[in-house]
Chain A
Amino acid sequence: MSIRIDQLPRDKFIMPGTAACPGCPLLIGLRQVMMALNGKMSLVIPAGCSSVIPGMSPATSYGVPTIHVPFASSPAVASGLVSAVRMRGNNGPVVVWAGDGASSDIGFAALSGAAARNEDLIYILADNEAYMNTGIQASGTTPWMAWTTTSPNGKTEERKEMALIMLMHKIPYVATASIAYPLDFIAKVRKASQIRGFKFIHLYAPCPPGLKFDDSYTVKIAQLAVETGIWVLWEYNQGKLTISPPSAMYKDKSKRKPLSEYMKLQGRFSKVGEDAMKIYEAKIDAYWNTILKLSELYK
């Protein structure tokens, strides 16, 4: 499904004047979701930056039907919502737009439950790799060695691989995406909207203040994550797993940019020295290895 940027809808579904920080990746990502579905969806949003970004009621900057819900509840609320609207004959997409804390930590049980029931939802994990809204605390997807306010000397644990965890729920569609590759992401959202059942998209969305980089670098950081191979774009669609085009060339390790190019722009990795960098590169190889093996398995 190839998409041309000049053929994307021009309607705006997010009004100007939001409360988002300069360079916020969530607005970039959410715009792409709304573009993909032409605004014909409803949004379920758990506590997080995206519950603050639309601004103050009675106004909102989100131009689609939206329900803000408690932190751990979004997959369950969405399960009920989609059941109700389907019963009433509405087949439009119900989209959960949730952060990493809501998905990998506090709402993990609800996410697993909704996926195991194969509810007809598109779940987008917009991952900024920490609890940014509450002031940059470490979450289940905060990477190893990253500084946060609750891991001041760098996180000692590994991150959870959410997309792989969701793959093992045997749902029809799992993909990773990046706000720096809108055509890839939009194509994935559109594909997901054509499939019945639970669809999970893990969207990388680097946050300037949280990751400590200049707010003009949001897209650049997201791009570097793919170019260095630390973020791999792949897609599992009903039995078949493939590396997505923007990541395809980085199967070849020699094509990847040095990891330091990605890390040195982010204050959170300031504690990563040469030795840690080597370990990091080995972890990236191991992840690639897993994905490539899975692509052999799910041919």
Chain B
Amino acid sequence: MQETIQRQARKVLVGDHAVAEAVKLARTQVISAYPITPQTLIVERLAEMVDNKEINAKFIRVESEFAALASVYGASAGGARAFTATSSHGLFYMYEMLWWAAASRLPLVMAVVTRSLGPPWNIHDEHTDIMAIRDSGWIIGMAQNVQEALDMTLAAYKITEDSRVLLPVAVGLDGFILSHTAEVLEVPSQEVVDGWLPPRDPHIPYVIEPGGEPITMGNMVKSDAHHMLLKKMMDEAMDGAKNVIHDVFASYAKLTGRNNGDLIECVNCQNSDYVAVATGAWSGDIMKAVSDLREEGYNVGFLRIRFLRPFPEEAIMDVASRARGIIVFDRDYSTGLGGIIAAEMMGLVPQSVSFKGVIAGLAGVDVTPSEVKAAIKDFIDDAERNGPIRIRKTWLMQKMEGGKP
């Protein structure tokens, strides 16, 4: 293992460029995207790589995000390995194609650089955009740092092309916090990646090509029950993806020495009375708060959601069954319901276990480890005094002058 690890190059890259590096290492053949901040650096870098012949790919300069996803979907149907990237409003402009691509069971990888949604115009970070595609049939990962953005993008190809999966994969990375922040990371060599990720087999699952097998994809179905069966098969593929995700990261770890877990990353989450939960880049800040609290004698751990789909139901139930309380931090919200992860998790947490959902950091609002620490401490103290408490939704935000709250 040591030998392969040494073959990695140490680089300093921003998150967007790390994703571009992964797309190159995967020998992606068709790339299509439309500019939107903070995703733009990915496609600019890829366009440069294509123009400089660093990568043998076609770059399709489309007129919209809808066309970006439509064209990489077409490329995948034509047997190529394809990639697109977007953010926020761009992701929403793709919405119809997201569902079509997933239900067509074609392999695809897309980076989603998370960003808030207007109005008002705001390019800063929030996770609501990527959460809004969670019912569409895409596998959805969220990276915690630049290294993981690279690793997860590479892994995404292996996952999506696995014949047990054949669902598209979205890799989320936080706008600016990861996309535009330079970190030191290890980049595996082309040789190592080639050995791990063979070229795509264009016939899995099917190929539409001139003069090829006269198959048809997407026409109406004889019976609605057949259509419903296809939905069930997608659901089964999502379930099957859990094992595939495990295997892919395990084999990747053999090459690189890195494995941050499967659907979740657990930091003292199985042996602690209290567990904080979050996804994405701010997990680092939350882990800092958790480790400070541990030093103060609080028995608290951290569960990071790496994959929102397939939803890590088993892992969450396992952790929740051992805990006295779960506190979830959502950088996203569903208007009229609350934090989305909190809403999805709450039913998996037994009634006897305290639960609290905290909405924070929307619209790019900075959340400090000390604020997180105070929120966790309040929750633990409250639960110990009055538990079990069950609060699905609270808003953690600063008091505004002259307004509410």
Q: Which residues of A contact B (CB under 8 A)?
A: 39-42, 44, 51-52, 54-60, 62-70, 72-73, 75-88, 90-94, 109-110, 112-113, 116-117
| B110 CB, nearest partner CB in chain A, Å | 13
Measured between alpha carbons, how far is A39 from B211 in the docked complex, in Å? Answer: 7
Additional pairs, 6, CB under 8 Å, beyond known A73-B96, A84-B79: A40-B211, A54-B216, A66-B215, A68-B218, A80-B74, A81-B74
User: Residues of A contacting B213 with CB < 8 Å?
Assistant: 65
A-B contact count (CB 8 A): 181
Q: How large is the interface on B (under 10, 10 to 19, 20 to 34, 35 or more residues)?
A: 35 or more
CB atoms of B66 and A88 under 8 A apart: no
Measured between alpha carbons, how far is A110 from B66 in the docked complex, in Å? Answer: 9
CB atoms of A73 and B60 under 8 A apart: no
State which of A67, A109, A110 has its C-beta within 8 Å of the C-beta of B218. A67
CB atoms of A70 and B97 under 8 A apart: yes
User: Residues of B contacting A117 with CB < 8 Å?
Assistant: 60-61
Minimum CB distance partner of B210 in chain A: A92
User: Residues of A contacting B71 with CB < 8 Å?
Assistant: 76-77, 79-80, 83
User: Residues of A contacting B217 with CB < 8 Å?
Assistant: 66-68
Q: Mark B294-329, 1 if CB is under 8 A from A, else 0.
A: 000000000000000000000000000000000000
Judge if B77 is at the interface, Cβ distance under 8 Å.
Answer: yes
| A168 CB, nearest partner CB in chain B, Å | 16
Q: Mark B223-235, 1 if CB is under 8 A from A, else 0.
A: 0001000000000
State which of B61, B66, B78, B97 has its C-beta within 8 Å of the C-beta of A84. B78
Most B C-beta atoms less than 10 A away, residue of A72, A79, A94? A79
Minimum CB distance partner of A82 in chain B: B78
- Given contact pairs A40-B210, A66-B208, A79 touches B60 in the complex (Cβ within 8 A): yes
Judge if B1 is at the interface, Cβ distance under 8 Å.
Answer: no
Judge if B337 is at the interface, Cβ distance under 8 Å.
Answer: no
CB atoms of A52 and B208 under 8 A apart: no
| Closest CB pairs A-B (n = 4) | A92-B210, A84-B78, A80-B74, A113-B63
Minimum CB distance partner of B84 in chain A: A80
State which of A69, A72, A83 has its C-beta within 8 Å of the C-beta of B80. A83
Judge if B343 is at the interface, Cβ distance under 8 Å.
Answer: no
Measured between alpha carbons, how far is A79 from B97 in the docked complex, in Å? Answer: 15
CB atoms of B76 and A80 under 8 A apart: yes
Measured between alpha carbons, how far is A62 from B216 in the docked complex, in Å? Answer: 8
Measured between alpha carbons, how far is A57 from B104 in the docked complex, in Å? Answer: 14
